[in-house]
Each structure stands twice: as structure tokens, then as C-alpha cells.
Structure 1
Amino acid sequence: MKPNFRYLNKPVLEPVPGCDWAEKMVLNPAIIKDPDSNEIHMLFRATGPWPQKRREGCHDPYPIFLGYAKSNDAGETWDADFSRPALAPALGYEEHELYITDIDGNKVRNYANGCVEDPRIFYVEGELYVTVACRLFPPGPYWLSSQHPPVETRYEYVPDWVFAGDDSDPFMKTARSNDTVTVLYKLNLGKLKRRDYESAFQYVGPLTEGHVSDNRDVFLFPEKMMIAGKKQYLMLHRPMNVLPFEGGEKVKKPSIYLAAAESIADFASPKAAHRLLAYPIFDWEENRVGASWPPIALGNKEWLVPYHAKKDVEFGYTQSFMILREQEDDFPAVVHRCSERLMFAERDWEMPSDYPTPCLFSTGGIVMGEDLIISYGAADQKVGISWVNLAELVAYIRKFDETGRRIG
């Protein structure tokens, strides 16, 4: 029997009129269970017009922030702090302003200067982290790129000195394209709960190379795995341009990759080894696929991996699941992949308004009791929550083989 996903008849969070940093969109939430209680903590993406940084002749910039919320009733209702962002981009414009002090006390380039988007929260070796997709400079009203005719605002706030910079500098190349680079922060949950936001996040560094590809939907497995004779960190990522990666010439479309590295700092370097995990094969995946939120351990060296897909502008973003199994001294492999879209925009409040594309985009999942609680962005503007029985979901995914064919 197909698993039953339970939904609310309204969003749990939505844009707040008069809140400058969350007036336009509140979406794509990451969630984590409190280790000491039944509270659930959320970081959500938000944006609004920022006229105080507007340049003459340009649209208002729309920097992207993270906000904080918590729930005491398994996700049914949420107490959100809209008094100020939990994590904000620096919004520097001059070259000397584009630096930040990292977790080791070093002054490094700040890839999170313009936007911090689409958080995912997870543990690695017992320590809590959050990844965010970052741009060096904020865009204008970026949803206008989906209109007809499209209006491109991504480059409006890229300063002139960037284009006069060193062509061989990867940072400058990334700045010129203003593509997303995924950045890792260490997260102190206790300080986040106390709303001591200024010290809750420590900048670790980039996990992807912006000059190679725009890259997001990035997070790590909780423990190292034995790969190529070495214990290595393992990461999921989704490059927009797959051609520089193994198998990219064959699949050509944005796909899910694994990356292995001996240190976290090595992921954003040629030292990382990459393996194609999954690419679009079903009709509803025609445009792209990407992992949705950090894997859930199922035991017996198996992992539940949620993933999203996009077909086209009319069909939009949908969600499904696959199961990976660890391999002896190698990358994990897909052993079950559901060929059906299990979550998609259906309710009135999930339908698009500014964006033409229907969108149910999950960015968080935790297990509480028998349920898997899933947090998602709807219509690129709101936050929704869904519940499904974990055992029923896993049993259903096991009915499909690694190619999506029904077993038996």
C-alpha cells in the first residue's frame, strides 16, 4: 500500500508584512530535534526588499536570510522569531569587506556575503552543522527571471572591480557569475535556542567550488566511510553543470553526486573524489534531480535518501525517495529507487503566485516516534509540514529496484 502523507490545510509559516527581511518569502526550512526534549528547531530561508543597499538604476536588492522557529507539538504549530534574522549575509560591496573570520580564527574570503539560502542541519561525528547555498552578492527580485519575457537580476549588484580582477582567481570567477557556493557553518544549538544568534554560527568554509559549477543541495553523512582504502567524509551534492564531473557528459542534466574527502576542507578542492549517484530517468524528473535533506540511517548499512525532481515549468518540483547501501571499500550505491512522485503541490496554498512553477520542495526530515516529520517550502513562498509513518514509507520504497522497476 502506498504510504499516507498527512498535511495541514494551511502553511505553518508565511511572509510577514512589514518585516523587511521576511516580507516577500518564507520558505525551505531545515529542522532538527532537540536532544534533550521533544522540541523541534527550524532554520528557514526568508527575503524582502532591502532598499538601504539599493544602487542607482537597479531594482531593490533581495538578500536572503535565515530565520529561527521552534515547535513543541511535533510540528503542528511554530513559534517564529521575526524580530531579527538568525543568520544574515554581510552585504559588503568593496573588496576589503568580503572577508570573514573562520572557525579556526583565520581571515578568509566570505562566500556568504550576499545570500544564505536553503539550510540543511545535520550531525557529523557528533557535532552539529548547517549548510547554506550562498551567493557573493544579492540579486534583485530574482523571481522575475521566470516571467515572460524574463528579467535577469542576478548580476545587478556584482561590482565593477570584480570584472577587472584576476582571471585566474577562483574567487573572482565565482563572483562574476554570482553562482551559488555551498558553505558549511558549525551550529551551536544551545545558543540558537537562547537566540544568541551572533555566536550560534561559526563559519567553517565552502564545500563546493563556484568556479567549477553552481552547486547546492549539499550535506554530509554523519560518519566517515571506508572508500579507496581510507576512512573518508562523504557528501551529497548537486552541481548545475555536471560536465566537469564523472559521468557528466553522459547525463548532461543536474544530478545527484557523492563526494569523498579525507578532510572537510578538501571538498572544495581537486582532492575530493566524485561519483555519480542518480540522474533523471523518469518522466517527472526530466529537468533535474537533487537530494533533499540529510540521509536517515536504516540499519544494516542502509540509508534513506529523500530527493526532489523537476520536470518543467508547468509540472514543477516533486519529491520521492531512494535507499542506498554501503559497499565494501567504495561509495554507497542505490539499491531501491521509487519511480513514483510521492509528494507534490496539491493544496491551494501550495500553488504558485509569483513563480509560475508548482513547487513542493522538502529541506528537512526528522524521526519522532513512528513518524517521519518533513518540512518543506511551498510555492517558493511558504513553509509546510507533513507526516508519514517511517516503516510504511521504507517498506514501500523497497518494492522498487535500483532502476525504479517494481520488484515481484
Structure 2
Amino acid sequence: KYYHYYNLFAQIGLVDEKNRLLRDKDIVLFPRKVNGKFVMLHRIWPGIQIVQFEKWEDLTKAFWEDHIKNLTEYILLDPLYDFEVNYIGAGGPPIETEEGWLIIYHGVCETHIGKTYHAAAALLDLENPAKVIARLPYPLFSPSQKWEKEGVVNHVVFPTGSALFGDDLYIYYGAADKHIAVARVSMSQLLSELKKNVTHGKT
């Protein structure tokens, strides 16, 4: 998959004898250090990768060169289900729960109406966030309202942040790249549903 996207960039002139450019997006930081390290998610098409480091000064050119050369070792999630078959990317900062780190991300699939962006959810180990515990095999929510289906970019729900009030998890998202919206879900029900979908080593 990663070689496929590398070739796509080559076709549009972003790769030549002097340049090896990768499209890196959707960077989010965990809200606290884990085992003494900062933890960060980012997206080099088509999956989500994880980065862990002790201090910001560690992020040198050599650090990133090694990270890119060994990128497959840092893949946290790759597209797995039909609704996210094209590519995925992190949303807001992970949410710490007793069950693990909850991440809300977006998944993209190509359909007869063009690309559709869905919201999705996964659960990471609390002490080892590089380990995926569970992952919903279906979207958390998808474009359904007219203002989610029609806009600057059609058929988009793009989660970017969240807030937890009691058991109510509010997920803030961009709708069709034109509006800002919020969806509410029960945190306990979401975690319960995730625990029904343990990954068994799949990412």
C-alpha cells in the first residue's frame, strides 16, 4: 500500500532523483506522557503511525530519517474495513479511559458518488499505546444529513476534537468542509461495543 502511494506521488512529480516527498498529515499528541515519553500519531498514506520520544530535541533529522526508513515498524492502524479502504487518519487527541486510550479517527472509501469520509473508533492499550486492543468494524457515524453530504467537499464527517461530560462524549467534526457540528455518544456504550470487537492482532 505504501509503495502504491509512493508511485502516485511520483506520477504527479513529487518524487525525482533529488526529492522523496511523503504526505504527512493528521498529527495529534496524547494529552500526557506515557511511561515517560511523549506519544504522537501521524498519517503517511494510507495508515496511522505512532511516534514516541522523551523530549522535543529528540526530533532531529536523523530521528525522522530512521522513522521513515523503518515506517512499517511504527504502523498503528492500517485500512482494514470496507468503509475505510482508501485511507485513514487521526482525529482529535486520544481520550484516556479505564479501558484504554480511545481514538476517534476518520476512514475514507471510494464509492459511486465519490469519496466518503466516516468517523471511526479504536482502543489502544493504556500502558503500551502502540498496541491496538479493539476496533469498530463499522463507522461510528457517517454523512447522513444534507449539510454533511453537500458542501465544499461532499460526503464528509471529519472528527477533530472531543469533550467528555459525565458519560456523554461530544465529538466535534467538520461537515462537508463547510460546517462545524457535534455528535453525542454514550462513552460507556461505545467502550462496551469496542470490547466486543477485540482486534486479535489485526491493525
TMscore range, shorter length: 0.7 to 0.9
The 3 A distance-change label for structure 1 pair 342 and 257 is: same
Offset of residue 376 of structure 1: 0.7
TM-score (norm 1): 0.40
Which residue does 1:283 correspond to in 2? 82
- Please tell me the root mean square deviation across aligned C-alpha atoms, in Å: 2.6
Q: Distance in 1 between matches of 2:170 and 2:32?
A: 22
- For the 8 Å contact 2:118–2:143, the answer to whether it is kept is yes
Amino acid at match of 1:218: I
Offset of residue 326 of structure 1: 3.8
Mark the structure with the bigger radius of gyration: 1
- For the 8 Å contact 2:41–2:48, the answer to whether it is kept is yes
Match of 2:37 among 205, 218, 232: 232
**2:155 paired with 1:358:** yes
Q: Distance in 2 between matches of 1:363 and 1:331?
A: 20
Higher relative contact order (CA 8 A, sep 6+): 1
The 3 A distance-change label for structure 1 pair 235 and 309 is: same
Which residue does 2:95 correspond to in 1? 296
Matches within 5 A, 1:20-59: none
Q: Distance in 2 between matches of 1:342 and 1:268?
A: 37
Q: Distance in 2 between matches of 1:237 and 1:267?
A: 14
1:246-289 CA-partner distances (Å, limit 9, x unpaired): xxxxxxxx101001122224346332556110101111111101
Which residue does 1:339 correspond to in 2? 137
**2:174 paired with 1:377:** yes
Q: Identify unmatched segments of 5+ residues in structure 2.
A: 1-11
Count of equivalent residues: 178
Q: Distance in 2 between matches of 1:404 and 1:317?
A: 25
Q: Distance in 1 between matches of 2:21 and 2:59?
A: 12
Amino acid at match of 2:119: Q
Which residue does 2:117 correspond to in 1? 317
Aligned with 2:22: secondary structure? coil
Amino acid at match of 2:47: S
Sequence identity (%): 28
Q: Distance in 1 between matches of 2:104 and 2:54?
A: 25
TM-score (norm 2): 0.77
Which residue does 1:222 correspond to in 2? 31
Aligned with 2:37: secondary structure? strand
Amino acid at match of 1:221: F
Offset of residue 346 of structure 1: 0.2
Q: Distance in 2 between matches of 1:224 and 1:349?
A: 38
Match of 1:386 among 161, 180, 183: 183
1:49-81 CA-partner distances (Å, limit 9, x unpaired): xxxxxxxxxxxxxxxxxxxxxxxxxxxxxxxxx
Aligned with 2:63: secondary structure? coil
1:133-166 CA-partner distances (Å, limit 9, x unpaired): xxxxxxxxxxxxxxxxxxx9xxxxxxxxxxxxxx
